Amino acid sequence: MKLNRKVKISSDIPTASMPDIIFMLLIFFMVTTVLREYSGLDVELPKAKRIQKLKSKRHTAHIWVSKQGQISIEDKLVRSSNVRHIMYTKRAADPQLTVSIKADKAARMGLISDIHTELRKADALMLNYSSKTAID
């Protein structure tokens, strides 16, 4: 008995649509990428457990507070009394603004409290104390 030989099927992976797939991935990453805008100050963030993610990077303004008591916004060192003006303009431009405070864990509360007062005056009320995840 003669068996019908099957016709050889080429076993290559089709690569014709590969550029399309890559382009799709590329567009995804292009859209989601937010380039790091500011380098900020060197801080050691405090640790906390009940932490939330910030909603969106686009609606976030950062304030860095170093151990030595320096305050940095947009890579410029500012005095605590100037925080109000900067944040007021930012808040006016973006009503959904969340202020993320990246303060060193050894920073003093007196300064943080001053920033609170300034932010309240600037009507920027949504706040986030940036912190790392604590592990037991």
In this structure, what token pair is assigned to residue 134? Answer: 């604590």
In angstroms, give the least distance from the CB of 122 to another protein.
Answer: 9
In angstroms, give the least distance from the CB of 56 to another protein.
Answer: 9
- Total residues at the site for another protein (CB under 8 A)? 54
User: Can residue 57 be called a binding residue for another protein (CB under 8 A)?
Assistant: yes
Which listed residue (7, 30, 93, 135) binds another protein by CB under 8 A?
30
User: Can residue 48 be called a binding residue for another protein (CB under 8 A)?
Assistant: yes
- Angle at Cα 19 formed by Cα 15 and Cα 21, nearest 5°? 95
Please give the C-alpha separations between residue 77 and each of 44, 49, 96, 109, 110, in angstroms, as whole numbers.
18, 30, 25, 19, 18
User: Can residue 66 be called a binding residue for another protein (CB under 8 A)?
Assistant: no
- Dihedral through CA 117, CA 119, CA 121, CA 125, nearest 10? -110
Q: For another protein, which stretch binds (CB under 8 A), given 4-12, 19-27, 71-79, 86-94?
A: 19-27
Distance from C-alpha of 66 to C-alpha of 104, rounded to nearest angstrom: 5
Site for another protein in 76-105 (CB under 8 A): 98, 100-101, 103-105
